[in-house]
Amino acid sequence: MTCIGMFPHNGSANHGCEAIVRSTVELLRNVGRLVVFSERIAEDKFYMPDLDVPCHSPKKEITRFSGQYFRATFLKRFKGKKDAFEEITFEPLKNACKNGIFMSIGGDLYCYETPFYMYRIHRYLKENGAKSVLWGCSVEPELIDDEMEKDLASYDLICARESVTYDVLRKINANTILSVDPAFSLPSQKTELPRKDYVGINISPMIVEREKSAGIALINYANLIRHILQTTDCIVALIPHVIWENTDDRTTLSELKNLFSDNERVVVINDMNCMKLKYVISNARMFVGARTHATIAAYSTGVPTLTVGYSVKAKGIAKDLFGAYEKYVLPVQSLETPFDLTNAFAWMAEREEIIRTHLKSVMPEYKSRIQVAVNAVTRLEQST
């Protein structure tokens, strides 16, 4: 079987990344010989001890004055190879993908900033005989310039996870198909739940970073929690989905909890693997989330969901599920008054059963679209 090298994977303390790896492995385990290249293997061992495919570092160290150091220096100075050090550093990835398939599983790589890093790695692997797949991706149309267009056009297969991205990329690369995020197929795993009905809440530092008025996101979330406590008997469950040091949901969730420190109806859910988090989210009465894969956990299990979005992926996924993203996605950039989030939640709560019924109705067909991507990767593997 052809080797399929999955990269970049930045570590499982981002439970969205973990969810992508877990679900992709299950979807493609019979298609090729899978290898996960991870930047944080220790995290993967902790959260995915059950993962039954190899997990390696994509890099090797180049120590100063080693043979590899002098080789890279020679290639850079005398052969004009500007990326010589990087090419040698990523030889483990190159060796796995040579004459195989390079599967870029970072769905957000083209969402936030120009991914020069990926341009170089993609070009390097293609030059060494790999076929390439951009898997479960979203792309911010406004970021696409000539260099990005050239890079996107060189993929052998692009699997867009929502139609906004698909409509843009099919004009750039004829090998673009419309599928869904692989994490929609992720199973859940039972764990302890809050003791009664609860509304799940997720907020991330990324939301705070993108607000237009300082403090407006936390003010809106705090007012939403007060609204839930005053108008329902529900518990409010604060649910983290990414706990990396530089972007830890627990930081912002703790700020919210501190505002309600003496209220037993506001609880913080402990960190756990993505399947257990999905179980917690799936049992919520309703969900308000910022992290994409936290909202995917809710959508995929029929939970009425309001997404506090900040990029094309949130709008695209909601549009494909509901026909339009308005009312289902509240861009953090649009928060202007202290009660914008409360008002958006109230609209959803009034239609709670309608939305739940709709999600359960459309989800089987929607989830099945991932098979289109699996079939396309299978054909690519058979052609190598």
The pLDDT-based confidence of 361 (bands split at 50, 70, 90) is very high
Helix (H, G, I), strand (E, B) or coil at 171: coil
What does the pLDDT look like over 288-339, one tens digit per residue? 999 999 999 999 999 999 999 878 999 999 999 999 999 999 999 999 999 9
pLDDT at residue 298 in the model: 98
pLDDT at residue 95 in the model: 86
How far does Cα 70 stand from its chain's mean position?
A: 39
What does the pLDDT look like over 48-104, one tens digit per residue? 999 999 999 998 777 776 777 667 677 777 667 777 767 777 888 888 888 899 999
180-204 mean pLDDT: 96
Homologous superfamily (CATH) of 198-366 is Glycogen Phosphorylase B; (3.40.50.2000)
- Burial class (CB within 10 angstroms; exposed 0-12, middle 13-18, buried 19+) of 339: middle
**Nearest to residue 44, comparing CAs of 58, 27, 33?**
58
- For residue 46 the two structure tokens come to 């902790």
120-136 mean pLDDT: 94
248-273 mean pLDDT: 97
For the chain, list the strands marked E by DSSP: 3-9, 33-38, 55-56, 101-104, 131-137, 157-160, 176-178, 198-201, 235-238, 243-244, 247-248, 266-268, 286-289, 305-307
Higher-pLDDT residue of 136 and 107 is: 136
What percentage of residues in the chain have a pLDDT greater than 90?
Answer: 84
pLDDT at residue 369 in the model: 97
Q: Tell me the C-alpha to C-alpha distance, in Å, between residue 14 and each of 106, 204, 266.
A: 12, 12, 24
User: Distance between CA 335 and CA 213 in Å, rounded?
Assistant: 8
- Burial class (CB within 10 angstroms; exposed 0-12, middle 13-18, buried 19+) of 147: exposed
Homologous superfamily (CATH) of 3-58+90-180+369-383 is Glycogen Phosphorylase B; (3.40.50.2000)
Residue 271 above 90 pLDDT?
yes
pLDDT at residue 16 in the model: 98
pLDDT at residue 192 in the model: 96
Residue 350 above 80 pLDDT?
yes
The pLDDT-based confidence of 235 (bands split at 50, 70, 90) is very high
Would you kindly state where each structural domain of the chain is located, as residue ranges? Answer: 3-58+90-180+369-383, 198-366
User: Please, are residues 281 and 301 in contact by the beta-carbon 8 Å criterion?
Assistant: yes
User: Please, are residues 144 and 327 in contact by the beta-carbon 8 Å criterion?
Assistant: no
pLDDT at residue 225 in the model: 98
Higher-pLDDT residue of 62 and 111 is: 111
User: Distance between CA 273 and CA 296 in Å, rounded?
Assistant: 15
pLDDT at residue 384 in the model: 85
363-377 mean pLDDT: 98
Q: Do domains 3-58+90-180+369-383 and 198-366 have the same CATH topology?
A: yes
Handedness of CA 374, 377, 379, 382 (dihedral sign): negative
